[in-house]
Structure 1
Amino acid sequence: MKKYAICGLSNRAMKMFIKPLLNEFSSTNEIVALLDFDDYRITACKKEYPQLINVPTYGPEQFQQMIEETRADTLIVASRDDTHVDYILNGLAHDLDVITEKPMVTNVEDVKKVLKAEANSKGKVTVTFNYRYSPFHRKIKELLLEGKIGRITSVDLNWYIDTYHGASYFKRWNRMRKYSGGLSIHKSTHHFDLVNWWLDQSPVEVFAFGALNYYGPEGEHNPEIGDNRYCGTCHVKHKCDYFMRWSTRSETANVEDDHYTMKDMSASNYTGYRPDACIFDSEIDIEDTYAATVNYDKGALLSYSINFSSPYEGYRLAINGTKGRIETTEFHAPSRVPFPVPEQTIEYYPLFGSKEVIHVVQTPGGHGGGDPILLEDIFLGPDPRRSYEIMAGTVAGAYSIAIGEAVWRSVKEKAPINIQSMLNVENKINS
């Protein structure tokens, strides 16, 4: 029986990890400890899952006591991004395995600490990059491994976050770089890891542009200049386009999202936590728009963009190679898209030949059906029928964060950023 300590009782921790551990994976796994700085979160977690009523609870300062008393052998880290590093380092110092939500950490300095700690530990770190597990993304990986497009020369990836989901990042702690690393880390590491995994190449250099175009006090949809407003009590919210796009004057609308719901956005969830802060506050210090170029050690080029205030959510992808091209377009959360959307397929264009349309068998679950497959790999072991590596570790986490930090640093410094120099290693870190 594997023993788990849950560090950070976030919404993600409860739905993604605690619920399946208590249900479909309970025969070989056991939750032996809950850790959070907020007693209210602990109370809410035990109320949601009465099976945990007798599980001991701890604060962050009681980590050593928790390990001694419960003899946990694996940590699950699902706390705020900037706190991941402390739990990971403490876990590795005790030779524990660590399963962490992305991003692994929020900056390259912490990346180096984790890489060093893992090298000196019997424990290993797994980063839960669930985008790898989407049926479409796994199929693309398989097509690339089959050599369908030959040697990969370039990737075009354009990601769009709609005004509901995009604004949510600017209502919460994500809007400050000291907590999230900025959205090129908190969000885009998903995308950078996906490309790194598809390519099986290491990033070398990044050049990027970016800006805060929509949010913050200068946002042109700001109904009134002023700080310290909250959607729940705001006197001008009915003049706010972002609020009214997803609500009514009587506020009876209920919009659902993979990441949170209207219920989660209530001001009473956690002690001192308001996830409905104004998206036009002056404390916002991150960007909401990026365009970046990344070159890789085996010759591939990535052209990447992301916009956090789009009319719809999804992405457009094209992968070019010496023998052809792969394309796909995804519309996420179709209930929030104000027009009919086509079924997602993968289009294969051989360099000399006819187009093929590939329909993919889809699976239910969060993040495009990726979450349930990821959980099976974590709690049951890797699928023996799969012929390629898909679980991500510290190196994958490191490169995704290095690209994300290079993006925002390039924006600030108006210069290309060398990845290996950032990581301060003479040779490419082992993949």
Structure 2
Amino acid sequence: MKRYVVCGMSNRALGMFIKPMLKTFSDSCQLVGMLDVDEVRFEVCRQQYPETTEVPAFSAGEFDRMVEEVRPDAVIVTSRDDTHVDFIIQGLRHDLEVVSEKPMAVTADECRRIMEAEEESRGHVNVTFNYRYNPYHMKIKELIDSGKIGRVTSVDLNWYIDTYHGSSYFQRWNRYREHSGGLSIHKSSHHFDLVNWWIDQQPEEVFAYGALNYYGSDSVHNPRKEDGRHCATCDVKLDCPYYTRWNTRSNTASVQDDHISSDMKRREGYTGYRPDKCVFDSDITIEDTYTAVVKYSQGSLLNYSVNFSLPYEGYRLAINGTEGRLETMEYHAPSRVPFPVQEQTIDYFPLFGSKETIHVVEREGGHGGGDPVLQEDIFLGENPKRPYTILSGSWDGALAVAAGEAVWKSAHENQPVRVEDLLAATEVMKGRGD
């Protein structure tokens, strides 16, 4: 029976890790400790999962005491992004296994510190990049590894975040770079990790542009320049298209996502936490639009873009190789798309030949069916019958964060940024990508 503690009682912690430990993997896993800055979050967990009523709770500064008293084997880190580094390193110093939500940290320097701590520890780090576990993404990996398109030469990846999801980042702590690293890290690290994993190469150099186009005080959608508003009490919310698109005049959530209403009310009870800050505040320090070109270690090139305020959510992907091309498009959260959407398939175009359409068996569960399979790898060990490695380690986490930081730095400095410069090639780094 493996003993787990959880640092950060976030909604993700409850649904992604605590629930399966209690309901699905209870024969092999035991939750023995919870840690957070806010006691209210413990009460929310206990109300939702009465099985945790007797699980000891600790404040954020009591990590050492927690380990001493409950003797865990592993720690799951699901706190705010900028706190990951401290909890991960503390876990490694106690020789614990560490499972971290993405991003592993908010800067490349923090990633370097984590890897240095891991070198000195009997523990190790895994990062939960659940996008890898989406069945379409696993199939793309299999197709590339089989040599179906030959040597990968270039990748085109355009990611779209809709006005519902995109605006949520600007209502919460994510909108401050010091807390999230910016969306090129908090969100795009998912995307960079996918490409790194698909093509089995390391990002070397990045050139990028970024901008704040939709949110902030200068937005064309801002009904009135004024800081400090909140959706719950705003007197101009019916003039805000981001509000009226997803809410009725009676201030109830859209029927497509009516579970959000109760979840929002629950979060508003957290100490000092407001998930409904105005997306037009002037203190926002991140961008909502990026484009980037990434050069990889074996010569592949990535053309990447992400936009956090679009009419629908999903992505378009094309992977080109010396023997052919793969294409796919996904519409995420189809209940929020205001038009019919087609089934996702993968199209294979051989360089000399006719098109082949590949259908993929879908799975139940969050993130396109990826979450349940990731949970199995975390709590039962990685599936030994899988022909490729999929569970991410600290090096994978570091490369994804460093690529995201390079995007922001390049956009800010208007020059190319080398990823290895951000990771500061120390003795620990040497040989990591060999």
Tell me if both proteins adopt one fold, taking TM over 0.5 as the criterion.
yes
User: Deviations 1:2-34 (Å, cap 9, x if unpaired)?
Assistant: 000010000000000000000110001100001
Q: Counterpart in 2 of 1:102?
A: 102
Which position in structure 2 is the counterpart of 1:137?
137
2:263 matches 1:264: yes
| Aligned counterpart, 1:273 | 273
- The unaligned stretches of length 5 or more in structure 2 are none
Distance 1:355 1:224 in 2: 52
Query: RMSD of the TM alignment (CA)?
Result: 1.3
Structure 1 stretch displaced more, 186-195 or 378-387: 378-387
Question: Where does residue 405 of structure 1 map in the other structure?
Answer: 405
Provide Cα deviations, 1:323-345, integer angstroms capped at 9, x if missing partner.
00000000001011011100000
Distance apart, 1:257 and its partner CA:
6.0
| Match of residue 349 from structure 2 | 349
Q: What is the distance in 2 between the residues matched to 1:345 and 1:77? A: 34
* Partner of residue 421, structure 1: 421
Q: 1:183 to 1:26 in 2, by over 3 A?
A: same
One-letter identity of the residue aligned with 1:63: F
Which residue pairs with 1:317 in the alignment? 317
2:87 counterpart residue number = 87
Give the CA deviation at 1:373.
0.5
Deviation of 1:391 (Å): 0.3
Give CA-to-partner distance per residue, 1:39-86, whole Å, 9 cap, x none.
100111111111111111101111111001100010000010000011
Between the two proteins, the alignment pairs up a number of residues equal to 430
Contact 1:163 1:309 in 2 (8 A): yes
The whole-number CA distance in structure 1 between the counterparts of 2:150 and 2:344 is: 23
Q: Is the 8 A contact 1:159 1:305 kept in 2?
A: yes
CA contact (8 A) 1:291 1:306 kept: yes
Please give the alpha-carbon distance, in whole angstroms, between the structure 1 residues aligned to 2:389 and 2:255. Answer: 36
- State the shift of 1:139 in Å: 0.2
The residue aligned with 2:29 is: 29
Match of 1:385 in 2: 385
Change (3 A) 1:256 1:81: farther
Q: For 1:60-209, list aligned pairs within 5 A.
A: 60-209=60-209
Instruction: Say if 1:255 and 1:261, in contact at 8 Å, map to a contact too.
Output: no
Shift in Å at residue 143 of structure 1?
Answer: 0.2
Give the aligned partner of residue 46 of structure 1. Answer: 46
Q: For residues 171 and 131 of structure 1, do their structure 2 counterparts lie closer, same or farther at Cα, with a shift above 3 Å needed?
A: same
Distance in 2 (CA, whole Å) between partners of 1:230 and 1:22 is 36
Gaps (5+ residues) in structure 1? none
Deviation at 1:108, TM superposition (A): 1.0
CA distance in 2: counterparts of 1:255 and 1:148, whole angstroms:
43
Q: Aligned runs of 1:299-338 on 2, under 5 Å? A: 299-338=299-338
Instruction: Answer yes or no: is 1:430 the counterpart of 2:429.
Output: no
Give distance in 1, aligned partners of 2:208 and 2:257: 29
TM, length-normalised to structure 1:
0.98
How big is the shift at 1:262? 2.8
Distance 1:118 1:334 in 2: 41
Bigger shift: residues 52-61 or 301-310: 52-61
**Identical-residue share of aligned pairs (%):** 60
Give the AA of the match of 1:20.
P
Q: Report the Cα offset of residue 382 of structure 1.
A: 1.3
Residue 247 of structure 1 corresponds to 247
Tell me the SS of whatever aligns to 2:126: strand
Which is further off, 147-156 or 381-390? 381-390
SS at structure 2 position matched to 1:13: helix
Distance 1:270 1:342 in 2: 40
Aligned to 1:234: 234
Equivalent-residue separation in structure 2 for 1:173 and 1:256 (angstroms): 25
8 Å CA contact 1:158–1:315 kept in 2: the answer is yes
Could you tell me how far apart the structure 2 residues matched to 1:325 and 1:337 are? 28
Equivalent residue number for residue 216 of structure 1: 216
Cα displacement string for residues 355-406 of structure 1 (whole angstroms, at most 9, x for unaligned residues): 0000000001111110000001111111122111000000000000000000
Cα separation, 1, equivalents of 2:256 and 2:249: 18
